[in-house]
Structure 1
């Protein structure tokens, strides 16, 4: 397996787990144009080849699958090249900037008969997996509302030693804080509701960090075709003093019960004289994502999260931006895919 691009902060989580996964032969890194020295350092650290040329990397017979951690606006060109060499693709979110690009990515991978998966972590968080099972087994009756913060994070510029400037350029990222953080939660709402979306109404803007140049937070109300209502808040909301980087919560209301998920990961809080530090001591979602990606390749089946799922998440996000800009409810499907 190879890693293509070192732009997305998620590479900081994925690369060590790829390198140490017992079922993966980590074979190379192409760093791209961002965080190149870190990419080279990780190649030395994990004793894999560092590629200066992307085509040399993708043409390697040692690499059968790739994780794409590049800027969002580069996903299409990387997928186009990867499919020429029949590489299976784990592409970080969002799948692309436009629906037209998403359609091209899906069609190219289908035509090349390679697997395409986008890693939406909430589907692999143990409390949410349990909630999904409880919903399916009717333990809380008929599902009515889902309220979620998924996710609030810190301003990515606070990541020390990692260049995140591209996330503040909508031409490269597709938006700001909402576009960066909402894809996970949007997908989880579709998954939990087990329905496609009928309409969205949103408020998205630059409300926390002055003169940011892009939005930093947003809230969207989603009406599903089966009548369930979802409310999602996402963005770069957490101050630098917040004890953890991410804040993810779910409140799931049914006619006969209620599920409250305030901590999707097991954590440890240490209280000192002047401050409290919280650390996650068991986070298994990235490992489980990689397990699913490997399994779908060997079992020759679609992954749990498909390119079509990623496209649906993007469509809802784009509709939310449209709603916020125009101050009106947007009905899906979106007809303009440009």
Structure 2
């Protein structure tokens, strides 16, 4: 049985990271977090039998195979490096790091130790519709993918957010943070191992009382004949009954797929709506039963030292491009 522990539970993403591993039969050995984050009550309610432990003790425990990290984004790199140098594999929340220097340090530690540094890009790995879309793309249902349009709106909930959420140096910027989801999907669906950031932009249009917040961002990418457009924001209106109307359009040479991941406004109830249009089919598919294979694959990778959940090079590249887009948008590169 794979045993895991958590270092840092500052973001609610830790709930899905841990729950999905437990669903695959892994054992939650304990957690450490700094201080009393806003997520603590929800965490202890969901995982009442998981004990808070000393960080050093968790890192020294030879029976712990995997460390989950959902600390403040700027702190994740140091925790990941400490975990790998303690002989543990790592699954980080996104973003896995916030600067290129941190990314270089993570790469050096990973290459030195041979451990796994993975990122749970939850907008791909925790969305069954993405599983089904990936299957259809692999089957050639829409031909060769030439463009993706990824939209990642989020609800701000400013009153419930901790101070670090509004501190650019601590959260990394909107493109490094939530933009990394969309870059991951672009690389994966187009089969790209690299890309050029042609345009990147960030702004604060609606939240002047939080000057450190970036509430709008966009990226234009290209990799050979593959093109990508990304828009992320913190503008989800209160009337929407979920945190964001996340959408993805995958354009192929022989058709297209549209995902309405979390809601289909005015349409079918539920989540994971997939629209497929090609030469023979024009239909909406309920993809909610497509599964979440990332977690089982990562467990297999830990056991077998393979890269079936996500290639290590892909993890590096997704974060590198997100950080470079952030730098371009801010005029620092």
What TM-score do the two structures reach when normalised by structure 2? 0.82
The DSSP-based 3-state class of the residue aligned with 2:207 is coil
Query: For 1:184, which of 169, 176, 181 is the aligned residue?
Result: 181
- CA displacement, residues 79-107 of structure 1 (integer Å, 9 cap, x when unaligned): 23212321111111112111221121122
Residue 2 of structure 2 is aligned to residue 8 of structure 1: no
**Structure 2: gaps of 5 or more residues:** 273-286
- CA displacement, residues 269-300 of structure 1 (integer Å, 9 cap, x when unaligned): 9x9xxxxxx76599789953322221111122
Shift of 1:325: 3.4
Counterpart position of 2:320:
315
Shift of 1:76: 2.3
Contact in 2 for aligned 1:178/1:235 (Cα 8 Å): no
How far apart, CA to CA, are the structure 2 residues paired with 1:296 and 1:284? 24
How far apart, CA to CA, are the structure 1 residues paired with 2:252 and 2:328? 28
- CA displacement, residues 208-232 of structure 1 (integer Å, 9 cap, x when unaligned): 33332221111111121x2221111
How far apart, CA to CA, are the structure 1 residues paired with 2:308 and 2:134? 18
The DSSP-based 3-state class of the residue aligned with 1:118 is strand
Counterpart position of 2:330:
325
How far apart, CA to CA, are the structure 1 residues paired with 2:226 and 2:42? 47
Counterpart position of 2:65:
64
Contact in 2 for aligned 1:13/1:286 (Cα 8 Å): no
Shift of 1:127: 2.8
Shift of 1:303: 4.4
Q: Is the alpha carbon distance of 1:84 and 1:156 closer, same or farther for their aligned partners in structure 2, counting shifts above 3 Å? A: farther
Contact in 1 for aligned 2:85/2:109 (Cα 8 Å): no
Q: Is the alpha carbon distance of 1:242 and 1:41 closer, same or farther for their aligned partners in structure 2, counting shifts above 3 Å? A: closer
What TM-score do the two structures reach when normalised by structure 1? 0.81
Counterpart position of 1:110:
111
Q: Is the alpha carbon distance of 1:279 and 1:128 closer, same or farther for their aligned partners in structure 2, counting shifts above 3 Å? A: closer
The DSSP-based 3-state class of the residue aligned with 1:33 is coil
Runs of 4+ in 1 over 4 A off after TM superposition: 278-287
Query: For 2:203, which of 205, 223, 232 is the aligned residue?
Result: 205
Counterpart position of 1:251:
249
Shift of 1:22: 4.8
Contact in 2 for aligned 1:147/1:230 (Cα 8 Å): yes
Shift of 1:238: 0.6
Q: Is the alpha carbon distance of 1:164 and 1:285 closer, same or farther for their aligned partners in structure 2, counting shifts above 3 Å? A: farther
- CA displacement, residues 140-195 of structure 1 (integer Å, 9 cap, x when unaligned): 2343322121x211115355xxx5321211221111x4433111111000111112
- CA displacement, residues 43-71 of structure 1 (integer Å, 9 cap, x when unaligned): 895312211x3112211234221110111
**Structure 1: gaps of 5 or more residues:** 272-277, 331-335
The DSSP-based 3-state class of the residue aligned with 1:234 is strand
How far apart, CA to CA, are the structure 1 residues paired with 2:48 and 2:10? 19
Contact in 2 for aligned 1:8/1:164 (Cα 8 Å): no
Contact in 2 for aligned 1:75/1:96 (Cα 8 Å): yes
Q: Is the alpha carbon distance of 1:197 and 1:204 closer, same or farther for their aligned partners in structure 2, counting shifts above 3 Å? A: same
Contact in 2 for aligned 1:86/1:112 (Cα 8 Å): yes
How far apart, CA to CA, are the structure 2 residues paired with 1:8 and 1:241? 24
Q: Is the alpha carbon distance of 1:46 and 1:286 closer, same or farther for their aligned partners in structure 2, counting shifts above 3 Å? A: farther
Number of residue pairs the alignment of both structures matches: 312
Q: Is the alpha carbon distance of 1:71 and 1:211 closer, same or farther for their aligned partners in structure 2, counting shifts above 3 Å? A: same
How far apart, CA to CA, are the structure 2 residues paired with 1:134 and 1:313? 22
- CA displacement, residues 11-53 of structure 1 (integer Å, 9 cap, x when unaligned): 23334444x43521111010223417826961895312211x3
Q: Is the alpha carbon distance of 1:88 and 1:286 closer, same or farther for their aligned partners in structure 2, counting shifts above 3 Å? A: farther
Q: Is the alpha carbon distance of 1:11 and 1:137 closer, same or farther for their aligned partners in structure 2, counting shifts above 3 Å? A: closer
